[in-house]
């Protein structure tokens, strides 16, 4: 009996392997390019650069695993216009198509200044739109909620917790939306490179432009005049005016021109009147001043090191470079914005697995940060603890929150959570900080941990059994904490920030992030900047 079972298993294995080999051999004979042009090009673009549907380039597909891609081609994607091709195409054809979209485009696709300018749209009538909200609610306590499930934005009245408007967004927005200082306009960036400017007071889109083919995030200057975009593809940084006219391109390349780099992210450093830029593959940190009083130094691609200078004068709208020992992928500013606390991600050239502190004025590394793993410093928060100023950051690899002294750069505490988390939030008026464990698998992803900022202990947890519960943002007054049930049929859950009791729940489609206008424009200490 045992023997015949063994033979049966061997036969099944052989048949399975034969089936795979057969599919593979057939996939080799299929003309995937022709299939793509026939079935996919109309929505995803002839060059796979995206059109009505998203771009299908290896860079854009980094976060989509192959089995998921195959399933998507077979069955389509619910709540979008992507149909399933399982009835029209054979398995070998589906396999060939999936293999094709993961292949790099040769020659590498270009996205030039002319392409950028051609892609721009602008509503000229927007100049006459009223300069006050055309709806009844506190414009400072408005929440912008990004619903990634069906690619929409909901605007939520933060006093009544009611949606006042909902509109479609570009596919796959990434990074926090960025606001002008008066809170009237918000800019969204999509992974496919689109930047959209939206008038929150008139509930209408003002302008849109495609800055690149694969973009990371956008930043808006604290005077509302400039918008910067960080790209993986092409490898550059772009400067736009407030209406998204292209002003300047910065190729992310070393001074000798030998090394190029993906641009990880760009941030506004408001007190410095500058943008600070993280480069993924190059051990340099860039700062670009938008202070008209900054001494203009060079234009174009000429840069100046001036190492060891006591006070930096970054030069108006030019990149000033700080050479580092290793690249920085993700970072956090201290309260003065003189220092960035940064970390590299695994897979980055020579990542030592330790963080580093860079003084932006002296333009050099001043300390190492004793935090290993994958700290998600962009989600860090700062607060006072025992007379010291500290920052706390989640970790994408381990279930622990690192708390660091912002003077001595020492690790003062590690707080255990059920699993690795992505986001952390608090508010100056709240005693507590909230964090998720969304990267922690089944056992952890449904739990938010609430940390007492004085004892640095987890004092409570809220759960959404079996679902992913993540990304918190407080109301303007810090009385309520809003969290997301990250599912297609998800929800926004409003908790009382002192009693941790649920007070309201609104159905939403995978609300990936929510942003309170006041907390953002005032750079509240408990939220991301």
Q: Give the interface with ligand DHE as residue ranges (CB under 6 A).
A: 62-63, 148, 174-176, 217, 264-265, 330, 378, 422-423, 471, 512-513, 528
Instruction: For ligand DHE, give the closer residue by CB, 174 or 476.
Output: 174
CA distance to 107, 176, 449, per residue, from 136 (Å): 53, 25, 35
Q: Which of 432, 336, 436, 332 minimizes the C-alpha distance to 391?
A: 332
What is the rounded CA–CA span in Å between residue 515 and residue 500? Answer: 20
Shortest gap between Cβ of 342 and ligand DHE (angstroms)? 11
Strand ranges of the sheet holding 388-393, from the earlier edge strand across to the other edge: 381-385, 388-393, 400-405, 411-416
Nearer to ligand DHE, 62 or 182 (CB): 62
Report the nearest approach of ligand DHE to the CB of residue 378 (Å): 4
Residue 192 or 330 having the CB closest to ligand DHE: 330
Taking the complex as a whole, the smallest distance from the CB of residue 343 to ligand DHE amounts, in Å, to: 11
Torsion of CA 168, 174, 109, 107, to 10 degrees: -140
Cα 527 vs. chain centroid, distance in angstroms? 15
- Which residue, 246 or 438, has its beta carbon nearer to ligand DHE? 438
- Look at the block and give the residue holding tokens 């007054």: 477
Evaluate whether 368 touches 408 at the Cβ level (below 8 Å).
no
Nearer to ligand DHE, 54 or 175 (CB): 175
Distance in Å, CB of 475 to ligand DHE, minimum: 15
Q: How near is the Cβ of 208 to ligand DHE at its closest, in Å?
A: 18
Tally: H helices and E strands in the chain: 7, 33
State the minimum distance, in angstroms, from the CB of residue 94 to ligand DHE: 25
Q: Cβ distance 261 to 237 under 8 Å? A: no
Calculate the CA 361 to chain-centre distance: 27
Q: Is the dihedral of CA 187, 330, 193, 80 positive or negative?
A: negative
Least Å distance between CB 281 and ligand DHE? 13
Q: Which is nearer to ligand DHE, 93 or 147 (CB)?
A: 147
Bridge partners of 382, per DSSP, are 391
Nearest CA among 213, 220, 279, 216 for reference residue 244: 220
CA–CA separation, 207 vs 124, rounded Å? 9
Q: How far is the CB of 463 from ligand DHE (least distance, A)?
A: 19
214/289 with CB nearer ligand DHE: 214
Token pair, residue 409, equals 């750069």
The answer to whether 97 and 40 are in contact (CB under 8 A) is yes
Tell me how far, at minimum, the Cβ of 216 lies from ligand DHE, in Å: 6
How far is the C-alpha of 384 from the C-alpha of 391, rounded, in Å? 9
Nearer to ligand DHE, 133 or 176 (CB): 176
Lookup result for tokens 């034969």: 18
Q: Which of 278, 410, 409, 437 is nearest to 345 (CA)?
A: 278
Nearer to ligand DHE, 27 or 228 (CB): 228
H-helix or E-strand containing 507?
A: strand 502-508
Taking the complex as a whole, the smallest distance from the CB of residue 420 to ligand DHE amounts, in Å, to 11
148 vs 478, which CB is nearer to ligand DHE?
Answer: 148
């Amino acid at each position: 009996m045992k023997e015949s079972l063994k033979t049966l298993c061997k036969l099944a294995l052989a048949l399975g392997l034969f089936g795979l080999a057969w599919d593979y051999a057939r996939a080799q004979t299929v003309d995937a390019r022709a299939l793509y042009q026939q079935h996919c090009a109309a929505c995803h673009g002839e060059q796979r650069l995206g059109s009505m549907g998203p771009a299908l380039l290896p860079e854009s597909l980094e976060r989509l695993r192959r089995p998921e891609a195959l399933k998507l081609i077979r069955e389509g994607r619910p709540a979008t216009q992507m149909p399933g091709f399982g009835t029209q195409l054979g398995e070998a054809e589906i396999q060939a198509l999936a293999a094709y979209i993961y292949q790099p485009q040769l020659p590498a696709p270009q996205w030039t200044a002319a392409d950028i300018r051609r892609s721009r749209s602008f509503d000229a009538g927007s100049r006459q739109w009223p300069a006050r909200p055309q709806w009844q609610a506190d414009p400072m306590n408005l929440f912008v909620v990004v619903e990634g499930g069906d690619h929409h934005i909901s605007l939520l009245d933060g006093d009544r917790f009611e949606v006042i408007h909902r509109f479609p967004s570009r596919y796959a927005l990434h990074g926090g939306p960025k606001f002008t200082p008066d809170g009237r306009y918000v800019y969204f960036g999509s992974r496919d490179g689109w930047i959209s400017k939206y008038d929150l007071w008139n509930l209408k889109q003002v302008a849109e432009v495609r800055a690149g083919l694969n973009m990371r995030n956008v930043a808006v200057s604290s005077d509302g005049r400039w918008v910067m975009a960080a790209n993986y593809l092409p490898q550059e940084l772009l400067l736009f005016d407030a209406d998204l006219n292209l002003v300047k391109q910065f190729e992310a390349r070393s001074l000798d021109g030998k090394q190029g780099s993906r641009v990880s992210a760009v941030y506004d450093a408001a007190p410095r009147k500058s943008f600070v830029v993280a480069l993924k593959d190059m051990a340099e940190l860039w700062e670009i001043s938008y202070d008209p009083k900054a001494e203009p130094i060079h234009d174009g691609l000429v840069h100046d090191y001036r190492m060891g200078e006591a006070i930096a004068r970054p030069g108006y709208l030019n990149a000033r470079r700080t050479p580092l020992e290793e690249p920085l992928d993700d970072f956090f500013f201290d309260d003065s914005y003189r220092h960035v606390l940064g970390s590299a991600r695994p897979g980055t050239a020579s990542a030592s697995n330790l963080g580093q502190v860079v003084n932006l004025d002296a333009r050099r590394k001043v300390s190492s940060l004793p935090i290993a793993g994958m700290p998600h410093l962009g989600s860090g928060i700062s607060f006072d603890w025992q007379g010291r100023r500290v920052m706390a950051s989640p970790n994408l690899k381990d279930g622990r929150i690192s708390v660091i002294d912002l003077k001595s750069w020492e690790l003062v505490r590690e707080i255990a959570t059920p699993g690795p988390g992505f986001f952390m939030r608090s508010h100056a008026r709240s005693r507590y900080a909230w964090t998720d464990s969304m990267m922690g698998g089944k056992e952890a992803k449904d739990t938010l941990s609430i940390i007492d900022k004085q004892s640095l202990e987890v004092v409570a947890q809220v759960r959404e059994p079996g679902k992913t519960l993540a990304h918190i943002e407080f109301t303007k007054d810090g009385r309520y904490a809003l969290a997301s049930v990250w599912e297609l049929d998800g929800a926004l859950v409003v908790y009382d920030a002192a009693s941790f009791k649920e007070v309201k729940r609104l159905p939403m489609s995978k609300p990936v992030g929510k942003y309170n206008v006041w907390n953002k424009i005032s750079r509240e200490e408990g939220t991301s900047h």
